Amino acid sequence: MNASGAAPTVALLDYGSGNVHSAAKAMEAAGARVRLTADRSAVMAADGLLVPGVGAFHAVMTALRAVRGDELIDRRLAGGRPVLGICVGMQIMFDRGVERGTTSEGLGEWPGTVRELTAPVLPHMGWSPIDAPAESRLFAGLHDERFYFVHSYAATEWTLEVTNPAITAPSVTWAEHGERFVAAVENGPLAATQFHPEKSGAAGLALLRNWVQAL
């Protein structure tokens, strides 16, 4: 429930991403009222903003900029308004992505580069365990669960340092496929997962419910 006692509203950013139907259904099952939109006022007014993402980093950034989604995400975060990114919707939060030798600029909310994993088999497709900090709110009650991943690229380093003791340090969750990579981040109003919670069964639904209940 939000401050008015109603179910929280979640704007599902409409910029042409291909997995919006399952994401919307899962978010509704988690207790939110969902609206697929790129309308500026609707995105800004929603309790939460969900940024889905499938495909290539460069293509997602191009489509996002076409609807000025990059500005909407930045404005929400500047105002402390919750945003959740999924899969490539998480990757674009970093400075840049490198795919097949091409470097593309991301949103720059976090320092770092998204690159191809060094692994014997790609893509990383299937259920994997995660290593989440004990204090994680997103993974509350879910530390022993597995989540569904479909990706070949990821951030393999976390370099953001918080030196101000008044600011809560980000909570970073890891997973492994060939090498360790960032599986999720909780950083103030911005949270994101490399895996697909909407395809992760009961565990994914519980994670989305954790996020919705915090709105």
Residue 16, pLDDT score: 87
Q: Answer yes or no: is pLDDT of 161 > 90.
A: no
Q: Answer yes or no: is pLDDT of 168 > 90.
A: no
pTM, to two decimals: 0.95
Gap between the Cα atoms of 197 and 190, Å rounded = 16
**What domains appear along the chain, each with residue ranges and CATH number?**
9-213 (3.40.50.880)
pLDDT digits (tens, 9 = 90+) for 26-44: 999 999 999 999 999 999 9
Residue 1, pLDDT score: 61
Q: Answer yes or no: is pLDDT of 212 > 90.
A: yes
Backbone angles phi, psi at 58, to 5 degrees: -60, -40
pLDDT digits (tens, 9 = 90+) for 116-129: 999 999 999 999 99
Q: Which residues are catalytic?
A: 87, 196, 198
pLDDT digits (tens, 9 = 90+) for 45-104: 999 999 998 889 999 999 999 999 999 999 999 999 999 999 999 999 999 999 988 999
Residue 131 · residue 173 · CB < 8 Å = yes
- C-alpha Rg value of the chain to the nearest Å: 16
Pick from 87, 100, 102, 67: which is nearest to 18 by CA?
87
Gap between the Cα atoms of 87 and 150, Å rounded = 8
pLDDT digits (tens, 9 = 90+) for 101-117: 899 999 999 999 999 99
